[in-house]
């Protein structure tokens, strides 16, 4: 038994290299010239780093291949850890990774955002750690940082983070890993945010992709009634690739995943690059596709047990969700276009949005903060100041769904729903001043 395990690991570690992936216009392409569509899952077995246990990664990668997945999203990693075994195991299964660059203590704060060298260096360390792998697809500079109206002033900091990490990538002569952002599906803010992060005409300051955590489609549902028609209307000829970085509403359940037919169907496939399903492991929020055993007492402690669920072992499909998704994905084989025939000039660069009464506080193409500048105030102005300071908060918990229609039952999750009062916010918020303070 031990011999077969070592053989499996050796096979994973010496796996053939996968074609690398880059972004051109509003599409992803492999180095072989084929358009790439994501069929992925969120993968965070443990809060700190699930890509350090080669044996577990090999088990999970094998079942993910059976499911039809080709991407995993990992929310937190330890850049100092050894990821060679896990990355090889996933590569051997034909699976790419999307990695969040932030950590529990370096993410951009929504209320008092700042962007400093400590954050930049921490993000860069993750980029360094995964730059050597062919199946590193791309990286997120943030996840659902903006979820309420008075948080939109964080948008320039998201853009500044993307600017600096892209510059770091290029200065290190890494390949052109796409660097983007994963947004909450907040109707009053999302249209302005996706346009703002890609506007202004300076590609070096813009994100390389825009991703959306959306739980609008709850089976049984239709394209028009779900809100997907509205999402599609704002994605037509978007200037960078756009995809669902979390989806898979579980209300009322079981999940049928009919939204996958829409995302990869004729109405959306020309503008969207696929979807990542939340999530791989079964937890208290009941979004899991697999489990490693029955739930245990929530107060139980022990090796690989956390929050009442075992975090390691032989993955067992959750019925019927796993097979429902497997069946749907097996029927979806979009061919897309070849990079040799694709003309990225047809995409449309959006105008930088102006401030709105419903809560978008950033007015136009404002000057981005430089490294070390901190937000104080209630709206955005490019005026710098040498006064004031903020104390960084510490993020706790792990990612969980947060959207207008899906309650985040995981107690470690972020904001769970739209504040219905956003639409009635007074435009008087726009008159509050923002200043920058130096954060060394």
| Residues with a known catalytic role | 144, 246
Across the strands, what pairs with 115?
Answer: 373
Instruction: Write out the two tokens for 73.
Output: 């999203």
Task: Measure the CA–CA gap between 292 and 159, rounded to whole angstroms.
Answer: 39
Tokens of 85: 């075994």
In sequence order, what E strands does 158-302 have?
Answer: 179-184, 210-213, 242-247, 272-277, 290-291
Cis peptide leading into residue 394 (ω within 30°): no
Q: Contact at 8 Å (CB) between 292 and 281?
A: yes
| Cβ 388 vs Cβ 376: under 8 Å | yes
Neighbours of 11 (CB within 10 A): 13
SS3 of 249, please? coil
Alpha-carbon dihedral sign for residues 264, 267, 271, 272:
negative
**HSE-CB for 279 with a 13 A CA cutoff:** 24
CA–CA distance, 91 with 58 (Å, rounded to integer): 10
- Spatial separation of the C-alpha atoms in residues 29 and 336, rounded to whole Å: 10
State both tokens at 77. 């990693």
| Terminal-to-terminal C-alpha distance of the chain | 54
CA–CA separation, 27 and 23 (whole Å): 6
3-state helix, strand, coil in the chain (%, to 5): 25, 20, 55
Distance CA 246, CA 358 (A): 25
Angle formed by the axes of helices 155-171 and 117-130, nearest 10°:
50
CA 102 to chain centre: 11
Rounded Cα–Cα distance for residues 267 and 348 (Å): 18
Q: Which residue has the tokens 């994100």?
A: 207
């Amino acid at each position: 038994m031990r011999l077969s395990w070592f053989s499996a690991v050796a096979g994973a570690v010496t796996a053939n290299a996968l074609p690398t992936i880059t972004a051109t216009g509003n599409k992803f392409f492999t180095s072989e010239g084929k358009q790439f569509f994501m069929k992925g899952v969120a993968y965070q077995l443990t809060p700190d780093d699930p890509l350090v246990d080669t044996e577990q990664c090999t088990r999970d990668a094998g079942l993910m291949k059976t499911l039809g997945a080709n991407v995993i999203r990992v929310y937190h990693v330890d850049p100092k850890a050894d990821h060679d075994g896990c990355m090889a195991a996933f590569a051997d299964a034909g699976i790419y990774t999307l990695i969040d660059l932030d950590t529990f203590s370096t993410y951009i704060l929504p209320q008092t955002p700042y962007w400093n060298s400590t954050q930049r260096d921490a993000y860069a360390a993750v980029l360094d750690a995964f730059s050597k792998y062919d199946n590193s697809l791309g990286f997120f500079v943030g996840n659902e940082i903006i979820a309420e109206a008075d948080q939109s002033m964080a948008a320039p900091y998201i853009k500044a983070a993307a600017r600096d990490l892209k510059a770091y990538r290029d200065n290190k002569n890494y390949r052109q890993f796409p660097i983007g952002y994963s947004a909450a599906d907040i109707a009053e803010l999302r249209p302005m945010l996706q346009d703002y992060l890609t506007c202004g005409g300076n590609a070096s300051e813009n994100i390389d992709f825009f991703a959306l955590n959306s739980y609008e489609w709850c089976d049984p549902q239709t394209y028009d009634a779900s809100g997907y028609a509205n999402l599609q209307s704002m994605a037509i000829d978007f200037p960078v690739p756009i995809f669902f970085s979390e989806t898979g509403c579980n209300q009322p359940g079981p999940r049928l995943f009919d939204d996958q037919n829409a995302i990869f169907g004729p109405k959306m496939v020309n503008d969207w690059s696929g979807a990542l399903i939340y999530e791989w492991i079964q937890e208290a929020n009941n979004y899991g596709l697999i489990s490693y055993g029955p739930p245990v007492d929530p107060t139980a402690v022990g090796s690989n047990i956390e929050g009442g669920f075992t975090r390691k072992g032989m993955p067992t499909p959750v019925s019927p969700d796993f097979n429902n998704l497997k069946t749907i994905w097996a029927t979806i084989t979009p061919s897309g276009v070849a990079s040799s025939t694709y003309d990225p000039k047809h995409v449309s660069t959006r105008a930088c949005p102006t401030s709105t009464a419903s809560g978008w506080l950033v007015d136009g193409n404002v000057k981005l903060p430089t490294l070390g500048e901190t937000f104080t105030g209630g709206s955005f102005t490019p005026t710098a100041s040498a006064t004031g300071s903020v104390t960084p908060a510490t993020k706790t918990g792990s990612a969980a769904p947060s959207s207008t229609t899906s309650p985040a039952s995981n107690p470690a999750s972020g904001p769970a729903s739209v504040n219905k009062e956003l639409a009635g916010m007074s435009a008087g918020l726009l008159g509050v001043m923002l200043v920058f303070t130096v954060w060394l």
